[in-house]
Amino acid sequence: MEKFDIHIVLLSDQVLPNVLAVLDAAIKPQKVILCESDAMAKRGVGINLAEFYSSKGLVTEIVPMGTAYDYAVLQDKFLEIAANLEGGSASVAVNLTGGTKLMSIAAQNVFSAYGFACFYSIPQSNEITVITGEKEPPYKIKDQIKLKDYFRVHGYLAEPKTDKKFKIDSDSRDLCLELLENFSVYKDSIGYLNLLASKAADAYSLKIKNDIPEKHDKILELFARFHFISYYDDKRVEFESQQSRDYCNGLWLEEYVHLSLKELDKDIGLQDFATSLKITSPTGTENELDAAFLYKNNLYIVEAKTARMTDKGTDVLYKLDSLKDYAGMYTRPIVVSFKPLQGYDRKRAEDLKIKLIEGSAIKNLVKHIRDYIEN
């Protein structure tokens, strides 16, 4: 595909196809003309994309199209755009991927008659297919979108959470593997450790007094052996540090997810990945993501849970589903849960198409994620 000075873009809720072409320096235009229907204007799609394009050094113009379902009106609008560009020195290409079907048909009929190139962007393969002029093979987009830009074009601000710091070393990895390799030994005690750590956190303390049943000694001994717990008996537990307390409160599983994504990245090459993200919506609503990664322009969001989700499980699932809706059709949610989901939550996850990786299966997390994303 050759480089064009101007891209004409048809806007829809799925903005990713309209963004990929401008991230490749080899075909990046100087200007983008956004054709925006009334429905898209009400949702702020054009303004959001215009701000993003401007941040990438592009001149941006928004052209109101009115309704997206009146062919005669759409044709007149496109004819007006074409007439203004005809005879100029700038080369023009039209991205037909967005908009309604009527918009795409009207745009192709008008702009191809004026000799403008028309193309279609395919996010899953990161390719562009030119559908006018001489037949040519699909163009492979060279620069792939990263997490920060992916969230940005969907209206979100993504920032790393600075209050969570992983202790990534061989000891912590060995602890994670011990917990997962011997799942049956620790499965009933990990929630109790979460409870102790969360009580201490609520009290802004590293010490917690509690009557501790003997059956939980093994989990306490394990975390003490790896220096996350400095002391324990049948009446109290003392955590090594605030970070160690957080680690006992489930951060160990988030770290294991992080290590698994690093391994997966080396194995198959992810576009981008991050752990512990704060996501702010256009309305200012904040959400925290344990992890997120991009592969073949699909966004995968991951929640890691160590406690049984009988009370909050549905909240977690609906949170993931809401982010899936906001961040476009290419979003895939994953729950990594040390305790297998039960009953209603399992059915709800199935209905919402949320991938579950649970219990002893987590020890093979890299394999399970790879199988899921490659299928």
Please list, in sequence order, all residues whose beta carbon lies within 8 angstroms of the beta carbon of residue 321, skipping any fewer than 6 positions away.
333, 352, 354
Pair 179, 222: CB distance under 8 Å: yes
Q: Give the DSSP H/E element, type plus range, for residue 35.
A: strand 31-37
Q: Are residues 175 and 253 in the same domain?
A: yes
pTM listed for this prediction? 0.87
Q: Look at residue 1 and tell me if it is in a domain.
A: no
Vertex 313 angle, CA 310 and 317, to 5°: 160
**CB neighbours of residue 104 within 10 Å:** 20
Clarify whether residues 236 and 353 are in a common domain. Answer: yes
> Is 69 in the same domain as 104?
yes
183 and 56 within one domain: no
The answer to whether residue 182 is domain-embedded is yes
Distance separating alpha carbons of residues 318 and 349, to the nearest angstrom: 9
What's the rounded Cα separation, in Å, for the pair 168 and 171? 8
- For residue 187, the model assigns a pLDDT of 86
pLDDT at 47 over 60: yes
Strand partners, 286: 280
**285 found inside a domain:** yes
Asked whether 40 and 141 are in contact (CB, 8 A), the reply is no
**What is the percentage of the chain residues whose pLDDT exceeds 70?**
91
Residue 101, in any domain of the structure: yes
pLDDT score, position 6: 96
Where a domain ends, among 89, 123, 143? 143
Task: State pLDDT tens for residues 147-158.
Answer: 999 999 988 899
Element (H, E) at 95: strand 92-95
Encode pLDDT of 187-213 as tens digits. Answer: 889 989 988 999 999 988 999 998 889
Top mean pLDDT of 3-7, 21-25, 207-211, 303-307 is at: 3-7
Q: Are residues 198 and 71 part of one domain?
A: no
Residue 31 lies in a domain: yes
Q: How many domains does the chain have?
A: 2
CATH number at residue 14: 3.40.50.10770
CA distances, 120 to each of 48, 107, 127, 164 (Å) = 22, 12, 9, 41
pLDDT for res 314: 58
- Could you tell me if residue 305 is inside a domain? yes
Whether 153 and 194 share a structural domain: yes
| Whether residue 118 is found in the same domain as residue 152 | no
Q: Which of 121, 143, 165 is the last residue of a domain?
A: 143
279 strand-pairing partners:
158, 287
Residues 234-289: tens digit of each pLDDT: 999 999 999 889 889 888 999 899 999 999 999 999 999 998 899 888 888 888 88
> 99 — phi, psi (to 5°)?
75, 180
Domain that holds residue 282: 147-375
**Cα–Cα distance, 102 to 75 (Å, whole number):** 10
Buried b / exposed e across 283-302, counting CB within 10 Å, b at 16+? Answer: eeeebebbbbbbbebbbbbb
Q: pLDDT at residue 183 above 70?
A: yes
Nearest to 322 by CA among 273, 286, 373, 358: 286
Burial of 175 (0-12, 13-18, 19+ CB in 10 A): buried
263/218 Cα distance (integer angstroms): 29
pLDDT classification of 162: cutoffs 50, 70, 90: low
- The pLDDT value recorded for residue 82 is 96
pLDDT at 323: 65
Q: Are residues 151 and 171 in the same domain?
A: yes
Q: Same domain for 85 and 151?
A: no
CATH number, domain of 206, equals 3.40.1350.10
> Looking at the structure, do residues 239 and 101 belong to the same domain, yes or no?
no
Q: Are 222 and 335 found together in one domain?
A: yes
Q: Is residue 307 part of a domain?
A: yes
